Structure 1
Amino acid sequence: MPKRVLQGPVVSDKGDKTVVVRIDRAFKHPLLAKVVRRSKRYHAHDENNQYKVGDMVQIRECPPKSKLKRWEVVTAEELAAAAADRQQAEADKADANE
């Protein structure tokens, strides 16, 4: 099962090796039928303390690292490698089905 990947701005970098990322979402209210905006804050692991307030980052699920941290910051290189692995696996699966 693939891990969820979310994207949002860093709103706090005060913790050591931790950033807080705000994830915004919009959905249609079931009764009022209008678009409602909600946001949630996620604590994410930042190993090198390289991200600062205002940076746009992508985070993905991971095993718990502390009481609040269940997410880790993903670099662009890691995302590209994961996408390449996924495409390779799909290609192998398609070849096996033929």
Structure 2
Amino acid sequence: MPKRILTGTVTSDQNAQTVTVSVERRFTHPVLKKTIRKSKKYRAHDANEQFKIGDKVRIQECAPVSKTKRWEVLSDAS
């Protein structure tokens, strides 16, 4: 089964080898037919500590690295 790949923005880089990535998804409300934006934060492993706040990145599912990290940073999303 292929691993999920998401695109988001780095919102925090305070922890060692970890970045927090905010991923936004858009969908249409089933009753109101209005476009809704929802965001979710993921902790991702950044081994080289090369990404800073505001960077657009792609993250991929991986085996658990720590208690909260289940994702790894692939590359810039540009």
- TM tier, smaller: over 0.9
Cα RMSD of the aligned pairs, angstroms, is: 1.0
Counting strand residues as a fraction of each chain, which structure ranks higher?
2
Over alpha carbons, which structure has the higher Rg?
A: 1
Alignment partner, residue 36 of structure 1: 36
Matched positions, count: 76
**Structure 2 CA distance, aligned partners of 1:23 and 1:32?**
23
TM-score, normalising length: structure 1 = 0.75
- In structure 1, runs of 5+ residues without a counterpart are 77-98
What's the CA shift for 1:30? 1.1
**Structure 2 CA distance, aligned partners of 1:45 and 1:73?**
6
TM-score, normalising length: structure 2 = 0.93
Structure 1 runs of 4+ with >3 Å offset? none
Counting helix residues as a fraction of each chain, which structure ranks higher?
1
Alignment partner, residue 50 of structure 1: 50
Task: Indicate the percent of aligned positions where both proteins have the same amino acid.
Answer: 55
With CA pairs under 8 Å and 6+ residues apart, which has the higher RCO, 1 or 2?
Answer: 2
What's the CA shift for 1:51? 0.4
